[in-house]
Amino acid sequence: MALSNSQYNAIMRMYDRRQIENKHDQDARIRRVYEAVPALAEVQEELTASFAACAKCRLSGDETGAAVWRAKIEDLKEQRRVLLKSGGFSEDYISMRYQCPDCRDTGYKDGKKCHCFKQAEIELLYSQSGIREKLNSENFEHFSLEYFDNTQVEPKSGKTAYEYMRQTVDFCWDYIERFGEEKGNILFTGKAGRGKTFLSSCIAKELIDRRFSVVYLSAVDMFDFLSKYKFDYDPSEEVQEMNQYILDCDLLIIDDLGTELINTFTTSQLFYLVNERMNRKKGTIISTNLPVNSLRDEFTDRVTSRIMSGYTIIPLYGEDIRIQKKLKGLD
């Protein structure tokens, strides 16, 4: 996803701050050197004037004059090196220092985004996802099939819990790999502790690391925010921006649907979100403890029909993973 204007501007403001900090740091080092080696100030001033004179000659086409100034510049650089050494400073002590030497803290190299800019994008996306800390532990590196029984066949799936979860994980990886081309939608259903939120987090981390924007909200928090946005007489710019981000982010994760107070407002807002994001071809993952046949009772035929027609429904079975972890002493 291309960054929104506000996201791009936030990153560029970071680079602006870096450049200011770099200049302050350099100025402090220059002052320190001038105090220790006063003669260096005169050499540096003369060097600056020589650079300007050389540039002026080149602009006017006077290559002979430019050559004279280049020779003088080299001589002054040698004087500067000797003076720095005499004061116990390194040759590059008063040079500008960059956090990223490749782009010199501009974010761009050869007209393209620098690797540090791409990393800044990921950091920003993590900070805006709302689940940075959660993803440190809830990711595929910490996922294990050992908590799923591989002896008894689940009547509903026709597979053991182990086989079914392995199939589900394979589906999640396929979803991730195809996300750049097709931002599909998933509805995870099942009782508490079956891995719905964990799998959602696993997908979120992989997509953020690939520089897709992800927003995670519990259903309670999401509807609370939408209520404030809709009924606040004059919503702040930040609130308006967040509302737009919920609609435009590459992946929206709505966790624990059905735990909120369900009424006509939440039902209408859920339909609007589901429908609008499908129209914009954005991905959405919803997790709920409600079985599919209960969604219609809670959220009307209209909402349920839209979800059923545009989402891959993945019911999760098996034992409560949290209890299994405790029994194995791993939680």
Q: Contact 183/251 with Cβ under 8 angstroms?
A: yes
C-alpha 97/C-alpha 92 separation (Å) is 9
C-alpha 199/C-alpha 178 separation (Å) is 17
Residue type, 242: M
pLDDT per residue as tens digits for the range 112-163: 989 899 888 888 878 877 777 888 888 999 888 888 888 888 888 889 989 9
pLDDT band at 331; cut points 50, 70, 90: low
> Token pair for residue 82?
């000797």
CA-angle at 190, arms to 270 and 200, nearest 5° = 65
What SS3 class is residue 160?
strand
Q: What is the pLDDT of residue 134?
A: 84
Q: pTM for this one?
A: 0.70
- Mean pLDDT comparison of 130-134, 255-259, 281-285, highest-scoring range: 281-285
Please report the domains of the chain, with CATH numbers, ordered by start residue.
Answer: 17-99 (no CATH), 130-327 (3.40.50.300)
